[in-house]
Amino acid sequence: MTVSSTFSYADIVLAHQRILPYIQATPVLTSNTANQLSQAELFFKCESFQTSGAFKFRGACNALLQFTLEQKARGVVTFSSGNHAQAIAKAAQQFGMRAVIVMPKDAPAIKVAATRGYGGEIIFYDRYTEDREAIGRQLAQEQGLTLIPPYDHPHVMAGQGTSAKELIESVSSSAAALDYLLVPLGGGGLLSGCATAAKALNPLCKVIGVEPEAGNDGQRSLRSGSIVHIDTPNTIADGAQTQHLGTHTFPVIQQHVDDIATVSDAQLIDTMKFFASRMKLMVEPTGCLAAALALSGALDIKGKRVGVIISGGNIDLSRFAKLIQDTEIN
Ligand SMILES: *Cc1c(COP(=O)(O)O)cnc(C)c1O
């Protein structure tokens, strides 16, 4: 059996102890306007305020902190469209390791610059014609680096799950438990970890993954019972342009996730505008996936207490301005 068959909440508790000295305690924010719009009580876990600008720093820290001395001496390699790359580069820098990052050449400029700024060595590839996993594996073999993939790894999944653990712990101390937890979905590292934490802390909490309409492979996988592969989806949610769930993440998602929903790019833009104008939050398109579902009215959450993961906030100012402006004209 795969390692993920033994993946459990205990891994998330251990991960949390391990990474706590290094991560930010991200805020849980509420908004009266959001509650009115959704007719629910929404609790936004703002991982846009996490170190390196997204939850990915949690998984990266949890993985690198378990390296042996020999692995640490040789360094880490990964492939990523951005936030995982920054997280690995930042964590490696903090722990005094070399980091090699395989990144698409059309990755957002802010993510490339940030990765370089953290001391990451970048190797570019073409996301439409080349296989990033093969490139990563080859580098690992040639240079003795340890490959830490962006989502399909139990240490990464456990680290990401600590965001839901924190959210549920902070919300539950004030009042009743959450009825729903809504989580952005790419390859499922975040969703598998968060669902495991949610079901352990509150078995009645419904967990819903949210992915871009253009790339609904996760929804099709959950409904069909086997991992569906798709072409790189065309969506502004660049952190969720994954082609398939992972062999580690999928069984955990099958076990703990109640459903997977989709939202359109237009809904993501509306949500970015909402966060900026109403809550003074800068959230990247992928970071808006779960919130877009909550605000869309497509899910019946009337009168419910709903946890919403805002997964990241890394976006070029110019791109942010353009996305918002393009829909302002009417
Ligand atoms: C990576 C990422 C996701 C998707 O996470 P997975 O673990 O691949 O499902 C969602 N939002 C942001 C901001 C990300 O960087």
pLDDT tens digits for 75-128? Answer: 999 988 689 999 999 999 999 999 999 988 888 787 788 889 999 999 999 988
Strands 41-46, 28-29: pairing kind: antiparallel
CA 213 to ligand 1 centroid distance, Å: 15
Specify the pLDDT at position 107.
81
Q: Is the CB of 54 under 6 A from ligand 1?
A: yes
Q: Please name the amino acid found at residue 326.
A: D
Average pLDDT, integer, range 155-164: 98
Specify the pLDDT at position 90.
96
* Residue spans of alpha helices (H) in 95-145: 109-117, 132-143
Specify the pLDDT at position 210.
98
Specify the pLDDT at position 329.
45
Residue 54 per-residue DSSP state: B
State the pLDDT confidence band at 1, using cuts at 50, 70 and 90. very low
59 CA: nearest ligand 1 atom: 7
Average pLDDT, integer, range 6-11: 96
The angle that helices 9-19 and 56-64 make with each other, rounded to 10 degrees, is 90
Interatomic CA distance for residues 250 and 157, integer angstroms: 11
Average pLDDT, integer, range 183-192: 98
CA dihedral 102, 116, 47, 68 (to 10 degrees): 60
| Contact assessment for residue 214 and residue 206, using Cβ atoms and an 8 Å cutoff | no
Q: Is the CB of 191 under 6 A from ligand 1?
A: yes
Interacting residues of 56 by C-beta distance below 8 A, sequence separation 6+: 50, 83, 84, 86, 87, 150, 160, 312
| Contact assessment for residue 81 and residue 127, using Cβ atoms and an 8 Å cutoff | yes
Specify the pLDDT at position 312.
98
Mean pLDDT of the chain: 94
Of the listed 38, 80, 81, 163, which one is catalytic?
81
pLDDT digits (tens, 9 = 90+) for 254-301: 999 999 999 999 999 999 999 999 999 999 999 999 999 999 999 999
Specify the pLDDT at position 175.
60
Residue 6 per-residue DSSP state: G
Interatomic CA distance for residues 214 and 230, integer angstroms: 10
Residue 64 confidence (pLDDT) above 60: yes
Residue 38 confidence (pLDDT) above 90: yes
Going by C-alpha positions, the residue among 215, 148, 165 that lies closest to residue 12 is 165
| Contact assessment for residue 175 and residue 212, using Cβ atoms and an 8 Å cutoff | no
Specify the pLDDT at position 330.
40
More confident residue, 81 or 38: 38
pLDDT digits (tens, 9 = 90+) for 198-213: 999 999 999 999 999 9
Q: Please name the amino acid found at residue 191.
A: L
Going by C-alpha positions, the residue among 265, 214, 262 that lies closest to residue 242 is 214
CA 144 to ligand 1 centroid distance, Å: 27
* Alpha-carbon 311 to chain mean position: 5
Specify the pLDDT at position 173.
61
Q: Among 1-15, 137-151, 194-208, 273-287, which is the least confidently predicted range?
A: 1-15
| Contact assessment for residue 79 and residue 178, using Cβ atoms and an 8 Å cutoff | no
Average pLDDT, integer, range 165-193: 91
Specify the pLDDT at position 159.
98
- The pair of three-digit structure tokens given for residue 256, joined into one six-digit string: 């703990």
- The pair of three-digit structure tokens given for residue 31, joined into one six-digit string: 């908004």
State the pLDDT confidence band at 51, using cuts at 50, 70 and 90. very high
191 CA: nearest ligand 1 atom: 9
At residue 71, what are phi and psi to the nearest 5 degrees? -60, -40
- The pair of three-digit structure tokens given for residue 161, joined into one six-digit string: 């799950």
- State the number of CA atoms in the 13 A half-sphere of 214 facing the CB: 17
CA 330 to ligand 1 centroid distance, Å: 32
Residue 166 confidence (pLDDT) above 80: yes
Interacting residues of 118 by C-beta distance below 8 A, sequence separation 6+: 52, 86, 89, 90, 92, 93, 99
Going by C-alpha positions, the residue among 27, 30, 19 that lies closest to residue 49 is 27
